[in-house]
Amino acid sequence: MADSPVYVCPFHRSTLKIKGGSARCPRCDASYAIENEIWILDTVHRADRLAFDEQVEASPIPLDKSKAERHMQAAGIGRLHRARILDAGCGLGDMAYGLACHPHIKSSDIYAFDHSIASVRQAMSNVGQPANGNRVYFSTQDASSLFFGDSSFDLVAGSAVLHHITDYRLFLRQIFRILKRDGVAIFSEPFFEGYFWPCFLLHLAAQELHLESLAGPEFGMADFMLKDTAYRVQNADDVAALDPLTDKHYFRAEILSSLAAELGFRGVRFQNVEPARFYDCWMPHFLDVYQIQHEPLRRKAMQLYDELRSYAGPALPAIAPHFRYIVLQK
């Protein structure tokens, strides 16, 4: 037990060595703090990381204990033995927790990183003691320069992480590099259609009701969602415009497919996170999530969504998927 984790200088590809309580690259002598076993490897300081730190400290969210199992199933992975697994953007540690105590993951090294130090501290406490001879190593890292060696992971898993990363193309290029041959990466992320449709229908509903303004507590986050979604859709190709946002991207399957091919992945497939019946009630759920309580607006928006639902029929989950798994095969 308690072997040291292996981290690699992203500039020199040398393995960092522990020296006097910190980690050092033997080539460039850059030094990184190790704080209560968390390796502090982020060399980029960004405002959006501080937003995550504040969010974690303000409101701890209960762990989603089935997250790892659902991602394993969607990735088609039954068991992992003596494997190296990466939880990319570990947040509060749901995925790392589920991997570390999964009955079919044994004697494996699980690396979990996030750019938010407050999240990593919370994740470490949430994960607790791993089972089955698994080990979990925590670090803070920035998505733009990962401290992992080439061909070092069997599985990379991330939940709602890619859409926070401005240059997710560069990030996926690194994921390809650090995956072993035949390794798999799986991410669950928000897709364009599943947010565009409810927002567009909500916009139409507000217009039909001649609502001049959506300010006021009864409208919840309606105004924000309509403006934010339009902005993200219209600026989808403008990295500089999206960079200041915390939630930056809505994904599109055709763009990810061509990116995956360009990066060298053997294949990419997509699978809705929610079952088909979820989309019968996506609009009321959307209205609840964004605290939109104005009754006439809710009724009109749901009526328009019902029109979409009956027009699309069984194709609705394919037309308006909001969260999908992205499975990349190296």
Work out how close the CB of 10 gets to Zn ion at its nearest, in angstroms, rounded to a whole number. Answer: 8
Query: Interface with Zn ion by CB under 5 A: which range of 4-12, 138-146, 213-221, 240-248?
Result: 4-12
Is 179 a binding residue for Zn ion by CB under 5 A? The answer is no
x/- string (CB under 5 A) for Zn ion, residues 213-252? ----------------------------------------
CA–CA separation, 320 and 315 (whole Å) = 9
CA–CA separation, 250 and 257 (whole Å) = 14
Work out how close the CB of 144 gets to Zn ion at its nearest, in angstroms, rounded to a whole number. Answer: 16
How far the first Cα of the chain sits from its last, in Å, is 30
Size of the site for Zn ion (CB under 5 A): 6
Phi, psi values for residue 176, rounded to 5°: -60, -45
Whose Cβ is closer to Zn ion: residue 6's or residue 312's? 6
Work out how close the CB of 36 gets to Zn ion at its nearest, in angstroms, rounded to a whole number. Answer: 24
State the sign of the Cα–Cα–Cα–Cα dihedral 207, 230, 253, 179.
negative
Q: Are 130 and 158 in contact (CB under 8 A)?
A: no
x/- string (CB under 5 A) for Zn ion, residues 10-49? -xx------------x-xx---------------------
Token digits for 140?
């803070």
In three-state form (DSSP H/G/I as H, E/B as E, the rest C), the secondary structure along 109-172 is EEEEEECCHHHHHHHHHHHCCCCCCCEEEEEECECCECCCCCCCEEEEEEECCHHHCCCHHHHH
Whose Cβ is closer to Zn ion: residue 25's or residue 179's? 25
Mark residue 24 as left, alpha or beta (left: phi above 0; alpha: psi -120 to 50; beta: remaining): beta
Whose Cβ is closer to Zn ion: residue 147's or residue 325's? 147
Work out how close the CB of 169 gets to Zn ion at its nearest, in angstroms, rounded to a whole number. Answer: 24
Work out how close the CB of 284 gets to Zn ion at its nearest, in angstroms, rounded to a whole number. Answer: 53
Exposure string of 277-315, with b = 16+ CB inside 10 Å and e = fewer, is ebbeebbeebbeebebebeebbebbbebbeebbeeeeee
Whose Cβ is closer to Zn ion: residue 145's or residue 271's? 145
Query: Interface with Zn ion by CB under 5 A: which range of 3-11, 68-76, 92-100, 297-305?
Result: 3-11
Work out how close the CB of 161 gets to Zn ion at its nearest, in angstroms, rounded to a whole number. Answer: 26
Whose Cβ is closer to Zn ion: residue 30's or residue 263's? 30
Whose Cβ is closer to Zn ion: residue 28's or residue 204's? 28
Whose Cβ is closer to Zn ion: residue 30's or residue 233's? 30
Among 9, 72, 110, 287, binds Zn ion (CB under 5 A): 9
CA–CA separation, 40 and 53 (whole Å) = 15
By CB under 5 A, the residues from 77 to 106 that bind Zn ion are none
Whose Cβ is closer to Zn ion: residue 30's or residue 236's? 30
The radius of gyration computed from the CA coordinates of the chain, to the nearest angstrom, equals 21
Work out how close the CB of 153 gets to Zn ion at its nearest, in angstroms, rounded to a whole number. Answer: 21
Token digits for 324?
């999908």
- Summarize as ranges the residues that interact with Zn ion (CB under 5 A): 9, 11-12, 25, 27-28
